[in-house]
Amino acid sequence: MLLNEHSAHYKLPDLRYDFSALEPVINAEIMRLHYEKHHQAYVNNLNAALEKYHSAESKKDMATALSLQESIRFNGGGHINHTIFWSILCPEKEALGQPSPKMREHLIKDFGSVAAFQEIFQKKTTAIQGSGWGWLGYNKNLKRLEIAWLSNQDPLSTKNLVPLFGIDVWEHAYYLQYKNKRNDYVQAIWRILDWKSIEERLINAI
């Protein structure tokens, strides 16, 4: 949340569930570290960079303002991406286990079948080199769903897509529990996707 144009202050979003609620897919230790340490660091660094940016802007210090843009993009992207990530997860007992009707309709239209979509998404997201995210987004211009893979914390908006859901494949998201088995982690995430929330994002995007 941005308080005003001169005093930037973003904060962690409230979680809808406890740290242990996503077990056994994501254990409580990873959730706590991911949320309280990693996401909080993006928020803190974003706020600090924006404060410096506003100060430089007020002094017409263009060189400093420009030098801060990379930090704003990286940490702002980290905040946006993680905020979406928490919102599209839910305890396994509350998950539908499969896409909701409207999502299923669009996945079949744009990928041939739900299974075909999942196979492509799984394979490509697991194969991301280094750190990054696998995303399903909506292309408003083409009126279709698209998969995208982005490095580091680049937000999906940089691809002109509206984010529906993303899977974080930075090591801090899974390594304590899954070690080097990234594919197992990505495969397990399907069990805790909140398809109702994802469908709401699609409806709002269309």
Assess contact for 119 and 144: CB atoms under 8 A. Answer: no
Q: Name the residue type at position 131.
A: S
The residue among 169, 162, 167, 184 whose CA lies nearest residue 131 is 169
Q: Is residue 136 within a helix (H) or strand (E), and if so which, with residue range?
A: strand 132-139
Start-to-end CA span in the chain (Å): 25
Q: Please tell me the predicted confidence (pLDDT) of residue 97.
A: 86
Give, for all 206 residues of the chain, the pLDDT tens digit. Answer: 343 444 558 999 999 999 999 999 999 999 999 999 999 999 999 999 999 999 998 899 999 999 999 999 999 999 999 999 999 999 999 998 899 999 999 999 999 999 999 999 999 999 999 999 999 999 999 999 999 999 999 999 999 999 999 999 999 999 999 999 999 999 999 999 999 999 999 999 99
**Beta strand pairing call for 144-151 and 162-168:** unpaired
Per-residue pLDDT tens over the stretch 123-141: 999 999 999 999 999 999 9
**Beta strand pairing call for 162-168 and 132-139:** antiparallel
